[in-house]
């Protein structure tokens, strides 16, 4: 079902993240390494507090690892300045969060166009890109609605459109279906899957084994360590072995 592409889009190598210091230090991640290739959707699972969200924010350059390296499309984010990491997020990385993903003061199209506009693209062009992305997630007709006038599922579709607008090749999703009913959640995951099939790399944090089934691989985290990885083995085998 999956064709493993050659180029790694995201590669974390021995990433540590410590919050605070001394007695109060919290090791959110301790030596995590993993890779996501183009065309691949990787699910990250684990109990609450295991470091899943931390992993994702580090992967997108919103947070810096205490040690280790984070490569996005071949560039190590650790060495970059604040502004350069922001640039990476505009051009290479798209985020989808659990909820409140959208800027309430902007319409759907404007929310999607946000990374393009921040990148300095003319608003006309940014809007064209945004409409194309909305088309792709199937809600082009909602382009001029404000988030307050949309359902939760529609809002998440807009968020996904924003994550993929402008040919970005790494989509990071942190429990994107958490606030949605089952059916709508499935719909969102199908969109993510489709995007990865079209050549992007996706990392999906989820609690639910059902959702992990959409992934090509599953990475298990516990207390900041990767305890298991399905590797090239079928996802279902792993799920049954470890967590049925």
Interface with ligand ATP by CB under 6 A: which residues? 19-20, 26, 28, 46, 48-54
Q: Quick one: what does residue 119 bind among another protein, Mg ion, ligand ATP, none, with the CB cut-off 5 to 8 Å set by partner type? A: another protein
Comparison of 90 and 195: residue with beta carbon closer to another protein: 90
Residue nearest to Mg ion (CB): 53
Instruction: Look at residue 156 and give its three-state secondary structure.
Output: helix
Instruction: Output 4 or 19, the one with its CB closest to ligand ATP.
Output: 19
The Cα 207–Cα 55 span in angstroms is 15
Smallest gap from residue 54 Cβ to ligand ATP (A): 3
Q: Is 204 helix (H, G, I), strand (E, B) or coil?
A: strand
Instruction: Summarize as ranges the residues that interact with another protein (CB under 8 A).
Output: 53, 57, 60, 62-63, 82-83, 86-91, 93, 95, 97, 100-106, 110, 114-115, 117-123, 162
Q: How far is the CB of 163 from another protein (least distance, A)?
A: 9
As measured in angstroms, the least distance from the Cβ of 58 to ligand ATP is 9
**Could you tell me the smallest distance in angstroms from the CB atom of residue 46 to another protein?**
16
Site for Mg ion, rule CB under 5 A? 53
φ, ψ dihedrals at 50, nearest 5°: -80, -10
Residue 87 CB-half CA count within 13 A: 8
Q: What is the dihedral of CA 192, 165, 70, 194, to 10 degrees?
A: 20
- Given a contact cutoff of 8 angstroms between Cβ atoms, the answer to whether 133 and 161 are in contact is yes
Residues in contact with 204: Cβ distance below 8 Å, sequence separation at least 6, in sequence order: 41, 42, 43, 44, 173, 176, 189, 192, 211, 212, 214, 215
* 142 touches 134 (CB < 8 A): yes
Q: Which is nearer to Mg ion, 133 or 180 (CB)?
A: 180
Among ligand ATP, Mg ion, another protein, none, what binds residue 123 when CB lies within 5 to 8 Å by partner kind?
another protein
Judged by beta carbon, residue 8 or residue 49, the one nearer ligand ATP is 49
**Shortest distance (Å) from residue 235 CB to another protein:** 28
Nearer to another protein, 173 or 218 (CB): 173
Task: Quickly count: other Cβ atoms within 10 Å of residue 231's Cβ.
Answer: 9
What number of other Cβ atoms are within 10 A of residue 107's Cβ? 21
Compute the least distance from the CB of residue 183 to another protein, in Å: 25
């Amino acid at each position: 079902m999956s064709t493993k592409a050659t180029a790694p889009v995201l590669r974390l190598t021995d990433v540590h993240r410590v919050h605070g210091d001394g007695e109060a230090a919290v090791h959110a991640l301790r030596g995590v390494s993993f890779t996501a290739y183009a065309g691949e959707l990787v699910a990250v699972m684990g109990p609450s507090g295991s470091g899943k969200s931390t992993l994702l924010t580090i992967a997108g350059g919103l947070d810096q690892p205490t040690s280790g390296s984070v490569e996005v499309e071949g560039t190590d984010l650790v060495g970059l300045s604040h502004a350069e990491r922001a640039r990476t997020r505009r051009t290479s990385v798209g985020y989808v969060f659990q909820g409140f993903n959208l800027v309430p003061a902007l319409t759907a199209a404007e929310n999607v166009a946000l990374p393009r506009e921040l990148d300095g693209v003319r608003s006309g062009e940014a809007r064209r890109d945004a409409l194309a992305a909305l088309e792709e997630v199937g809600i082009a007709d909602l382009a001029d609605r404000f988030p307050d006038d949309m359902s939760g599922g529609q809002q998440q579709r807009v968020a996904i459109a924003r994550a993929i607008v402008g040919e970005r090749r790494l989509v990071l999703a942190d429990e994107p279906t958490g606030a949605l009913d089952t059916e709508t959640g499935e719909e969102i995951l199908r969109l993510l899957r489709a995007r990865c099939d079209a050549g992007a790399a996706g990392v999906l944090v989820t609690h639910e084994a059902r959702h992990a089934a959409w992934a090509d691989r599953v990475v298990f985290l516990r207390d900041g360590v990767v305890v298991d990885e399905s590797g090239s083995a079928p996802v279902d085998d792993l799920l049954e072995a470890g967590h049925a």
